[in-house]
């Protein structure tokens, strides 16, 4: 048996002021054939899983390129076509194969390509023909197009948000592909459009119990896999919104009915799934009364994981004007300021302008006399089993004693070790300010006295009612109160 494996992944915020090109992929993660590390990345866990299975079971794995760019703006057309054609050429050279396994994100949009993953999967299908098994893993913050659904035999999305199960999803994808090739199963899939755009964290109810239940359904009564596509509200594509995918062992009616039942149940959760998002002023008023520390305060929308720059200064300015003491802020993306800090050296004191460079809605730059406390080349943070590069980083101390980490590689806040790796003891701080919607939760909840979600309005398109989608033609909630009635 011979399996080809590759991964091209990023999440595209079509409203972002940024653009994504090949340098973003190479800066974040790029591994040529055979060069994938032993540790997985968010979307390339199929590599490490397939390696282990191939070694244990004696079949041949042909590795193609694996690459990932931090979420950002629309991908340059030449970049997408270069990466796609590189992988397709590797596949052609590997032929004949019995199966293809791809690690994808599912929300990539390039210039002139609203459905990059659909284009890639259909191109793979055109090469291998109708009888070769194709499987792909997806991030749930993706889009489900008919093209990608029809081109693949197996589609599996991570179930958890935060995505603590990306390795498990990769393992499930590889396993279903292998079982299909061996004739042990005949996967039949169905999808249901929930007609809604919503944030669906699984770290709280009602999603927690829902995910536990769909996990328990797998492997019983002919159900092989259940995936929930949450959708990505910052991606202006026709298929935006939540979907449910069910794969059964040759039971088409069961797949269709189960997907519909679960999809309508998910639709019933609309408006109840988000944590309480409070305003910056409400947060500043609340913080002095909280005794249990550290308090973790997250800016949910200036989140580089959602494709925005991550250099908003709005919340930091509130903090600096509030009189709060003993706080750390991580991170603000500003490669130019980092470069200046490296020139000053550790211990250097200088007037520094930082943040607020890439968007008119992200606040003005901060001007302050700062002390450079620590400089670190190629700093990083953890995200489960993966390592997330932060690039060159500078820890600066503000006049009020607050500390801010400036980074040169955009990344949201995943783990307290982003502070520890820069010499800040996160447990010793009263307040930790971070930028993430919910991926931080699993790691930061272990040390937090309390967690506060702050709704800082800025460059992220956080309200579907006012986002002004150009490619959305379906009726979806919350733009329409009852999209199912409207559609009928």
Domain ranges of the chain: 2-267, 280-454
Looking at residue 385, its pLDDT comes to 85
For the domain bounded by 2-267, which CATH number is listed?
3.40.50.2300
What confidence tens digit (pLDDT) does each residue in 191-238 have? 999 999 999 999 999 999 999 999 999 999 999 999 999 999 999 999
Looking at residue 373, its pLDDT comes to 98
pTM: 0.94
SS (H, E, C) the chain: CEEEEEEEECEECCCCCCCECHHHHHHHEEECCCCCCCCCCCCCHHHHHHHHHHHHHCCEEEEEEEEECCCECCECHHHHHHHHHHHHHHHHHHCCCCEEEEEECCECCECCECCHHHHHHHHHHHHHCCCCEEEEEECCCCCCCHHHHHHCCEEEECCCCCCCCHHHHHHHHHHHHHHHHCCCCCEEEEEEECCECCCCCCCCCCHHHHHHHHHHHCCECCEEEEEEECCCCCCCCCCCCCEEEEEEECCHHHHHHHHHHHHHHHHCCCCCCCCCEECHHHHHHHHHHCCCCCEEEEECCCCHHHCCCCCCCHHHHHHHCCCCCCEEEEEEECHHHHHHHHHHCCCCEEEEEECCCCCCCCCCCEEEEEEEEEEEEEEEEEECCEEEEEEEEEEEECCCCCEEEEECCCCCCCCCHHHHCCCCCHHHCCEEEEECCCCCHHHHCCCCCEEEEECCCCCCCCCCCCCCCCCCCCCCECCCCCHHHHHC
What confidence tens digit (pLDDT) does each residue in 108-162 have? 999 999 999 999 999 999 999 999 999 999 999 999 999 999 999 999 999 999 9
What confidence tens digit (pLDDT) does each residue in 410-434 have? 999 999 999 999 999 999 999 999 9
pLDDT reading at 47 higher than 70: yes
Please compute the mean of the pLDDT values over residues 467-486 and round it to a whole number.
Answer: 95
Report residue 488's pLDDT band, with 50, 70 and 90 as the boundaries: low
């Amino acid at each position: 048996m011979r399996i080809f494996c590759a991964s091209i992944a990023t999440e595209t915020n079509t409203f972002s002021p940024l653009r994504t090109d090949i340098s973003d992929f190479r800066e974040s993660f790029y591994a040529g054939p055979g060069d994938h590390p032993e540790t997985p990345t968010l979307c390339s866990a199929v590599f490490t899983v397939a390696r282990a299975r191939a070694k244990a079971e004696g079949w041949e794995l042909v590795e193609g390129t694996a690459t990932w760019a931090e979420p950002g703006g629309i991908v340059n057309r030449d970049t997408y076509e270069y990466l796609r054609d590189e992988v397709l050429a590797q596949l052609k050279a590997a032929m004949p194969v019995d199966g293809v396994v791809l690690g994808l994100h599912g929300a990539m949009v390039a210039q002139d390509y609203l459905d990059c993953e659909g284009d890639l999967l259909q191109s793979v299908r055109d090469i291998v023909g109708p009888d070769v098994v194709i499987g792909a893993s997806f991030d749930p913050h993706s889009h489900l197009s008919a093209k990608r659904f029809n081109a693949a035999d197996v589609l599996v999305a991570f179930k958890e948000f935060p995505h603590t199960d990306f390795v498990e999803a990769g393992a499930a994808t590889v396993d279903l592909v292998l079982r299909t090739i061996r004739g042990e199963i005949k996967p039949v899939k169905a999808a249901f459009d929930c007609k809604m755009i919503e944030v669906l964290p699984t770290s709280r109810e009602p999603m927690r119990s829902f995910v536990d239940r769909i996990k328990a359904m797998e492997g019983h009564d002919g159900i092989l896999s259940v995936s929930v596509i949450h959708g990505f509200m910052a991606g202006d594509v026709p298929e935006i919104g939540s979907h449910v995918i069910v794969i059964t062992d040759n039971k088409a009616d069961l797949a269709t009915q189960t997907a519909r039942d679960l999809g309508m149940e998910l639709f019933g959760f609309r408006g109840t799934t988000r944590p309480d998002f409070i305003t910056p002023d409400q947060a500043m008023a609340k913080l002095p009364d909280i005794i249990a520390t550290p308090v973790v305060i997250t800016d949910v929308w200036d989140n580089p994981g959602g494709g925005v720059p991550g250099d908003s200064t709005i919340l930091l300015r509130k903090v600096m004007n509030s009189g709060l003491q003993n706080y750390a802020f991580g991170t603000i993306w500003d490669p130019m300021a980092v470069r200046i800090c490296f020139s000053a050296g550790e211990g250097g004191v200088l007037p520094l302008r930082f943040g607020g460079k890439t968007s008119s809605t992200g606040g003005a730059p901060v001007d302050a006399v700062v002390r450079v406390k620590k400089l670190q080349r190629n700093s990083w943070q953890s995200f489960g089993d993966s390592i997330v590069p932060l690039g060159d980083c500078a820890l600066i101390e503000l006049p009020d004693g607050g500390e801010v980490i400036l980074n040169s590689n955009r990344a949201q806040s995943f783990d307290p070790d982003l502070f520890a790796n820069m010499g800040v003891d996160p447990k010793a701080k009263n307040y930790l300010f971070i930028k993430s919607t919910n991926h931080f939760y699993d790691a930061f909840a272990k040390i937090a006295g309390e967690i506060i979600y702050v709704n800082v309005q800025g460059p992220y398109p956080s309200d579907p009612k006012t986002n002004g989608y150009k490619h959305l033609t379906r009726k979806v909630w919350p733009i329409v109160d009852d999209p199912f009635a409207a559609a009928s």
